[in-house]
């Protein structure tokens, strides 16, 4: 399985040689494509050959391009990530509404459960309130226990004055981390032959990643934890690398320790199995052992 997240932060030329990514800068670095899951090009002074781009896409490697402020701006994904993409997309369009609602309910429940677990690790009394919300979730979360939990959760982590709508260093860090996780989910959705635009719950006509936004919800907590412990006073190269490295951290899924990148792969496949077979018991969630 691929596992490396490669970040190019300064002027360089990237090309392909014998199935290796070759990074030519002050020195030459070679990395076998089979090891790479994600390439982040953080500097706008990087040149890259079309031969390398094509080969990386064939290997289902996610490529993320950053803007002049070094923030993720776009990503490169293949038209077809699987040999049976046409069949997968047809099935996606006809997914049963009831199973979609059941799957979404499981996802929301797991998200709140992960938030509760983190607050318990921190000995925060607000964990009890999130536990109550867990017991109150109904089909499709029509009473928005997810939204109520989020407010309690973030205030417990970052203070009563904290709001996700503010443009402060904490939110900048969270949003950067979420964008990295989102890209990982885009990669797996496309690799499985589905399209990111058609979601389960998210249904924004301006959001190209509705399905990714749905599936990533339980994994947001990994970014929350990292930002909480970082307590960033600035957001520069080192802070970004810490968040990118979340993809290379280890969590438990299906009783085994996996890198987050690989856990996302396992989890996405299980969700698609649940949707295709109308069986939510197929879904596999991670357990954070950090």
Sequence spans of domains, the chain: 4-76, 85-282
289 — pLDDT class (breaks 50, 70, 90): low
What's the pLDDT at 146?
96
Q: What is the pLDDT of residues 21-78, one digit of tens each?
A: 999 999 999 999 999 988 999 999 999 999 999 999 998 898 999 988 888 888 888 8
Domain 85-282, architecture per CATH: Up-down Bundle (1.20)
DSSP-assigned letter for residue 1: -
DSSP-assigned letter for residue 18: T
What's the pLDDT at 286?
96
- The residue-averaged pLDDT of 108-129 equals 97
Q: What is the pLDDT of residues 197-252, one digit of tens each?
A: 999 999 988 899 999 999 999 999 999 999 999 999 999 989 999 999 999 899 99
Identical fold between 4-76 and 85-282: no
Global pTM reads 0.88
Exposure on the CB side of residue 114, measured as CA atoms within 13 A: 24
CA 209 to chain centre: 11
Mean per-residue pLDDT over the chain, rounded: 93
Cβ neighbourhood burial of 45 (10 Å; 0-12, 13-18, 19+): exposed
* Alpha carbons 175 and 180: distance in angstroms, whole number: 9
What's the pLDDT at 216?
98
290 — pLDDT class (breaks 50, 70, 90): very low
Tokens of 35: 């090891």
The residues pairing with 64 across neighbouring beta strands, listed in sequence order, are: 40, 75
- The residue-averaged pLDDT of 82-90 equals 91
**Mode of pairing for the β-strands spanning 46-48 and 12-17:** parallel
Q: Which CATH class is domain 4-76?
A: alpha beta
């Amino acid at each position: 399985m691929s596992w490396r997240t490669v970040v190019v932060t300064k002027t360089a030329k990237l090309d392909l040689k014998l199935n290796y990514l070759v990074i030519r800068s002050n020195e030459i670095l070679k990395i076998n494509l089979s090891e790479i899951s994600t390439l982040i090009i953080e500097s706008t002074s990087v040149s890259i050959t079309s031969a390398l781009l094509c080969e990386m896409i064939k290997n289902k490697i996610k490529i993320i391009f950053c803007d002049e402020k070094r923030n993720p701006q776009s990503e490169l994904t293949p038209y077809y990530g699987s040999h049976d993409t046409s069949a997968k997309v047809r099935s996606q369009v006809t997914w049963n509404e009831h199973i979609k609602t059941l799957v979404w309910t499981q996802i929301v429940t797991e998200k709140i459960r992960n938030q509760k677990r983190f607050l318990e690790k921190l000995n925060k009394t607000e964990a009890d309130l999130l536990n109550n919300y867990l017991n109150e979730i109904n089909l499709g979360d029509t009473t928005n226990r997810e939204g109520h939990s989020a407010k309690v959760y973030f205030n417990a982590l970052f203070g009563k004055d904290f709001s996700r709508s503010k443009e402060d260093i904490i939110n900048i860090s969270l949003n950067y981390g979420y964008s990295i996780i989102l890209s990982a989910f885009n990669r797996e959705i496309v690799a499985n032959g589905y399209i990111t635009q058609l979601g389960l719950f998210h249904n924004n006509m301006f959001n190209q990643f509705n399905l990714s936004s749905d599936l990533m919800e339980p994994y947001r907590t990994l970014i929350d934890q990292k930002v909480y412990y970082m307590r960033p006073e600035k957001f520069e190269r080192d802070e970004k690398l810490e968040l990118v490295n979340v993809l290379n951290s280890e969590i438990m899924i299906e009783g085994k320790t996996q890198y987050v990148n690989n856990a996302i792969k396992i989890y996405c496949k299980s969700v698609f199995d649940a949707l295709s077979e109308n069986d939510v018991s197929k879904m596999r969630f991670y357990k954070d052992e950090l």
